[in-house]
Amino acid sequence: MASGDIARFVAALPKVELHVHLVGSASAATVLELAARHPDGPVPTTAAGLAAFYRYRDFAHFAEVYTAVSSLVRDQEDVASLVLGVARDLAAQNVRHVELTVTPYSQVLVGIPMHAVTEALDVSAREARDRYGIGIAYIFDIAAVQGAEGARATLEHALEHPPERLVGFGLGGDERRRVPHFAAIRDAFRAATAAGLHSVPHAGEMGGPEVIWQALGELRAERIGHGIGCVRDPALVAHLREARIPLEVCPTSNVRTGQVPAIEHHPFPRMLADGLVVTVNSDDPPMFGTTLTDEYLTLARVFGLGPGELAELARNAVRAAFLPAPEKAALLAEIDALVAGPW
Report pLDDT for 3.
Answer: 66
Report pLDDT for 331.
Answer: 98
Question: Hey, where are the domains in the chain?
Answer: 3-340
Q: Could you tell me the end-to-end alpha-carbon distance of the chain, in angstroms, rounded to an integer?
A: 8
Report pLDDT for 252.
Answer: 97
Q: Among residues 17, 175, 205, 295, which one is catalytic? A: 205
- Residue 52 burial (10 A CB sphere; 0-12, 13-18, 19+): exposed
Q: Catalytic site residue 222?
A: no
Residues 6+ apart with CB under 8 A from 184: 147, 148, 151, 152
Report pLDDT for 1.
Answer: 59
* Ramachandran angles phi, psi of 181, nearest 5°: -115, 15
Report pLDDT for 338.
Answer: 97
Q: Which CATH class is domain 3-340?
A: alpha beta
Per-residue pLDDT of the chain (343 residues; tens, 9 = 90+): 566 799 999 999 999 999 999 998 888 888 898 888 888 888 999 999 999 999 988 888 888 888 888 888 889 999 999 999 999 999 999 999 999 999 999 999 989 999 999 999 999 999 999 999 999 999 999 999 899 999 999 999 999 999 999 999 999 988 988 989 999 999 999 999 999 999 999 999 999 999 999 999 999 999 999 999 999 999 999 999 999 999 999 999 999 999 999 999 999 999 999 999 999 999 999 989 999 999 999 999 999 999 999 999 999 999 999 999 999 999 999 999 999 987 6
